Chains A and B, each alone.
Chain A
Amino acid sequence: MSRNPDPANLERADTVEALRGRIAELEAANRDRGFCGGEGYYRDIFDAPREAVFVHDAETGEIVDVNRGVEEMYGYTRGEVLGSAAVALNQGEPPYSEKEAEEWVRRAVEEGPQMFEWRAKRKTGEVFWVEVVLQKATLGGKVRVLAVVRDVTDRVNLKDMIVQSEKMLSIGGLAAGMAHEINNPLAGILQNVQVIRNRVWEELPKNRQVAAECGVSLESIRAYLEARGVLTMIESVLESGHRASQIVENMLSFSRKSRDCFEPTDLAALLDRTVALASSEYDLKKNLDFRRIEIVRDYDRETPKPPCEEGRMQQVFLNLLRNAAQAMADDPRFKVEPASGRTETPRIVLRVVPDGGAARVDIADNGPGMDETTRKRIFEPFFTTRGRGPGTGLGLYVSYFIVTDFHGGQLTVDSAPGRGSRFTVRLPAERSAP
């Protein structure tokens, strides 16, 4: 991916330039003075930047040297990186595989300096975002390609978060407008159906009178409509309309402003009450008894008590606990094996800690986790990985707005397949003016 130069890139280019310049200086100085003990000196300069620096052979692409930054960033020793072709420094799948990496090196040799973002992999297997600058350099008379790599995970995450919050804002605005447009025709449907029901089944004098004028008794009309299932159908239209109206209402429940209900809230206590509530929820028992889940608490008593509307924040916690429980219910690792009766323990870790001036709540499960595509869409309305279920697919969407829009906080998620999911709620300790 080629990118427009931004200040960070220019700064990076400077780093490469500076490094190259100093090495050239050093080499020149060595030559001039016949200085032979330069290896240590050279290494100090090479190791100085916080970036990871790789030196590639320009022809083969082989790594011929790395600095200490590589060891710190990737978790491999210098010996491991230089000695083994099996070391996986790239995420490994196109467009972040070995093949593309070689292509970038080739371009740096043939076309000049290259700057791009890349998915790299640490020794632990963790994949992270880096920004790479590749530049051809002649070192010790040999043509090399210098790769200066900076860990930009935080910057990329921030960018993701901004895109996410903009997307959610536009969905929120759309939803509010749509609700109004949908409620009117829904009222048309529900009101007419109620009038139909009244005109047949209610004891209105006029019902009898008009039936008689038409030469039938009200009883025979009712008998016919009931025998043909029409009454049931009418009730069914009412129920469906009612459900649709509840979906619209749920979608916007966060926007009902009641600004005066904010009280400093002990989040740990609220979380505990919500766990108790979740334990008694029947829906959860159908899949996985909530009480089978081990709850681990890590509460810091110094956590600030942010102003919350307790009912709504409890709704958020309940949604997050429910999601965790349901994700774990679907995970075969937690199914009791009939033969041995043994099974892994589903676990939710609840953490309430101070975070800068804010309060942070983590709700982490050891369930199946989710891939990046799911993680990016998890807060969208009607996005669900569970197929048609009892839920409306609005739980996380509504939670997102309760936390961000209503409480001025942040709701984020960290997750990877096989590594569980951790939802984090950050709430400012003070309420900013609305």
Chain B
Amino acid sequence: MKERSNPVRVLIVDDEPAVRKSLAIFLEDAGYAVSMAARGEEAMDLLEQGPPDVAIVDPRLPGMSGETFILRAHARYPELRFLIFTGAVDFDLSDELIAAGVHPEHALLKPLYRLGSMAAAIEDLLQESEQTQ
């Protein structure tokens, strides 16, 4: 990971505790500042306390869907970038998600045999953001 003065802030939104917590631990160990939410509504509340740099979102959540969360969060915090982390074998991005800056390379499929690819995806996403600024 690139040298930065402040750690990159990552929010994980996933209702499966084993997935959410272990991913959080992995990313913390890799030097990220991680927060977690099990539901979209809870994640929206967390954003109020200061938005992270990247949100990793499971599209299938109880209550508010992952997609709805992304669209609402994007409307409110345009700087926030998203990664999709899904157990579906195939994931179709809606036009709205693409408009919110979510592209096919931002969707990762569970399970990841190497969690390093999640860290790499975060780095790529941040680099992309820096270049467009």
Contacts and interface: CB of A to CB of B under 8 A. Distances in A.
Interface of A: 176, 179-192, 194-195, 198-199, 202, 204, 206, 238, 241-242, 245, 248-249, 252-253, 255-257
B29 A191 contact: no
Contact of A198 (B19, B26, B88, B90): B26
Interface residues of B, number: 22
A238 B113 contact: yes
A189 B16 CA distance: 12
B89 interface: yes
B89 A179 contact: yes
Contact of B90 (A182, A199, A257): A257
Given A180-B88, A184-B16, A184-B87, A189 B111 contact: yes
A180 B22 CA distance: 19
Given A241-B111, A245-B111, A188 B89 contact: no
Contacts of B26: 191, 194-195, 198
B89 A192 contact: no
B87 A183 contact: yes
B25 interface: yes
B89 A176 contact: yes
B87 to A, nearest CB: 3
A194 B23 CA distance: 10
Contacts of B23: 191
Chain A interface, >50% SS class: helix
Contacts of B106: none
Contacts of A255: 89-90
Given A195-B22, A204-B29, A245-B113, 14 more contacts: A179-B87, A179-B88, A183-B89, A184-B16, A184-B110, A187-B16, A187-B18, A187-B87, A189-B18, A191-B19, A191-B115, A194-B22, A198-B26, A255-B89
Contacts of A249: 89
Interface of B: 16-19, 22-23, 25-26, 29, 60, 87-90, 92, 109-115
A183 B59 CA distance: 14
Contacts of B87: 179-184, 187
A184 B112 CA distance: 10
Contacts, number: 83
B24 to A, nearest CB: 10
Given A180-B88, A188-B18, A256-B89, A195 B112 contact: no
A190 to B, nearest CB: 4
A415 to B, nearest CB: 32
B21 to A, nearest CB: 8
Contacts of B114: 194
Contact of B110 (A187, A252, A256): A187
Contacts of B115: 191, 194-195
A346 B71 CA distance: 61
Contacts of B88: 179-180, 183
A241 B19 CA distance: 14
Name, among A180, A186, A188, A192, the residue most crowded by chain B CB atoms within 10 Å (CB to CB): A188
Contact of A191 (B22, B60, B89, B109): B22
A195 B29 contact: yes
Contacts of A195: 22, 25-26, 29, 115
A309 to B, nearest CB: 15
